[in-house]
Structure 1
Amino acid sequence: MTAIDNHTENHPAAHSEASAPARSWKVPGVLGVVTLLALVLFVLRAESGTTTFDLATGTDFVTLPAVGVPTRATGIVLVVLLAIITVYAGVNVFRRVSTPVWLLAVYGVLFVFGFLTWAAAGATIPVPGLLIGAVALSTPLIFGAMGGVISERVGVINIAIEGQLLSGAFVSAVVASVTGSTYVALLAALIAGALTASLLAMFSIKYFVNQVIVGVVLNVLIVGLTSFLYSVVLTKNSETLNSPPRFGRIDIPVLSQIPVIGPVLFQQTLIVYLMYIAVALVWFGLFRSKWGLRLRAVGEHPQAADTVGINVVRTRFWNVCLAGAIAGLGGAYFTLGSVGSFGKEMTAGAGYIALAAVIFGRWDPVRATLAALLFGFASNLQNVLGIIGSPVPSEFMLMLPYVVTIFAVAGLVGHVRAPAAAGKPYVKS
Structure 2
Amino acid sequence: MTTVTRAQDSQSRIVLEKAEIRSWKAPIALAVFVLIGAVVFIAFGRDGESTFVLSRRVDVIQLADIVLPTRAACIVIVLLLAAITGWSAYLAFRARTTPVWALGLFGFLFVVGFLTWAAAGASIPVSGLLIGTLGISVPLIFGALGGVISERAGVVNVAIEGQLLAGAFVAAVVASITRQPLLGLAAAMFAGVLVSFVLAAFSIKYLVEQVIVGVVLNVLVAGLTSFLFSQVLSENTALLNSPPGFDPINIPILSEIPILGPVLFRQTIIVYVMYFAVAAVWFGLYRTRWGLRVRSVGEHPQAADTVGINVASTRFWNVSLAGAIAGFGGAYLTLDAVGSFNKEMTAGAGFIALAAVIFGRWDPIKATLAALLFGFATNLQNVLSIIGSPVPSEFMLMLPYIVTIFAVAGLVGKSRPPAADGKPYIKS
Distance apart, 1:22 and its partner CA: 5.0
1:243 aligns with 2:234: no
Q: What's 2:5 paired with?
A: none
1:397 aligns with 2:396: yes
* 8 Å CA contact retained: 1:59, 1:257: no
Please give the secondary structure, in 2, of the residue aligned with 1:237: helix
Distance apart, 1:89 and its partner CA: 2.4
* 8 Å CA contact retained: 1:47, 1:121: yes
Distance apart, 1:246 and its partner CA: 1.0
Whole-Å Cα distance in 2 between the matches of residues 236 and 24 of structure 1?
60
Q: What's 2:40 paired with?
A: 41
Once the two structures are overlaid, the 10-residue window that deviates more, 39-48 or 132-141, is 39-48
* 8 Å CA contact retained: 2:167, 2:188: yes
Larger radius of gyration: 2
* 8 Å CA contact retained: 1:26, 1:411: no
1:84 aligns with 2:94: no
* 8 Å CA contact retained: 2:55, 2:62: yes
Distance apart, 1:28 and its partner CA: 2.2
1:266 aligns with 2:265: yes
Q: What's 1:157 paired with?
A: 156
Please give the secondary structure, in 2, of the residue aligned with 1:428: coil
Pairs aligned (count): 409
Please give the secondary structure, in 2, of the residue aligned with 1:60: coil
Distance apart, 1:88 and its partner CA: 2.4
Note the alpha carbon deviations across 1:97-139, whole angstroms, 9 max, x for none: 1112221111111110000000111101110010000000000
Q: TM-score when scaled to structure 1?
A: 0.93
Letter in 1 for 2:387: I
Letter in 1 for 2:51: T
1:167 aligns with 2:163: no
Letter in 1 for 2:259: V
Please give the secondary structure, in 2, of the residue aligned with 1:125: strand
Unaligned runs of 5+ in 2: 1-19
Runs of 4+ in 1 over 6 A off after TM superposition: none
Q: What's 1:108 paired with?
A: 107
Whole-Å Cα distance in 2 between the matches of residues 293 and 188 of structure 1?
30
Q: What's 2:295 paired with?
A: 296
- The residue correspondences of 1:52-201 to structure 2 (distance < 5 A) are 52-201=51-200
Distance apart, 1:349 and its partner CA: 0.3
1:316 aligns with 2:322: no
Whole-Å Cα distance in 2 between the matches of residues 192 and 68 of structure 1?
49
* 8 Å CA contact retained: 2:22, 2:94: no
Please give the secondary structure, in 1, of the residue aligned with 2:235: coil
Letter in 2 for 1:159: V
Q: What's 1:413 paired with?
A: 412
Letter in 2 for 1:141: L
Please give the secondary structure, in 1, of the residue aligned with 2:421: coil
* 8 Å CA contact retained: 1:177, 1:241: yes
* 8 Å CA contact retained: 1:22, 1:93: no
Letter in 1 for 2:33: V
1:215 aligns with 2:209: no
* 8 Å CA contact retained: 2:175, 2:244: yes
Q: Report the identity percentage.
A: 68
* 8 Å CA contact retained: 1:246, 1:340: yes
Q: What's 2:15 paired with?
A: none
Whole-Å Cα distance in 1 between the matches of residues 377 and 399 of structure 2?
6
CA 1:86/1:414 → structure 2, altered by over 3 Å: closer, same or farther?
A: farther
* 8 Å CA contact retained: 1:169, 1:331: yes
Q: What's 1:252 paired with?
A: 251
Please give the secondary structure, in 2, of the residue aligned with 1:64: coil
Distance apart, 1:26 and its partner CA: 3.0
Letter in 2 for 1:276: Y
Whole-Å Cα distance in 1 between the matches of residues 300 and 108 of structure 2?
38
* 8 Å CA contact retained: 1:249, 1:269: yes
Whole-Å Cα distance in 2 between the matches of residues 100 and 345 of structure 1?
40
* 8 Å CA contact retained: 1:22, 1:92: no
Note the alpha carbon deviations across 1:240-298, whole angstroms, 9 max, x for none: 11111111111111100000000000001111011001101101100111110111111
Once the two structures are overlaid, the 10-residue window that deviates more, 310-319 or 34-43, is 34-43
Letter in 1 for 2:182: Y
Unaligned runs of 5+ in 1: 1-20
Q: What's 1:281 paired with?
A: 280
Distance apart, 1:59 and its partner CA: 4.3
1:361 aligns with 2:357: no
Distance apart, 1:47 and its partner CA: 1.0
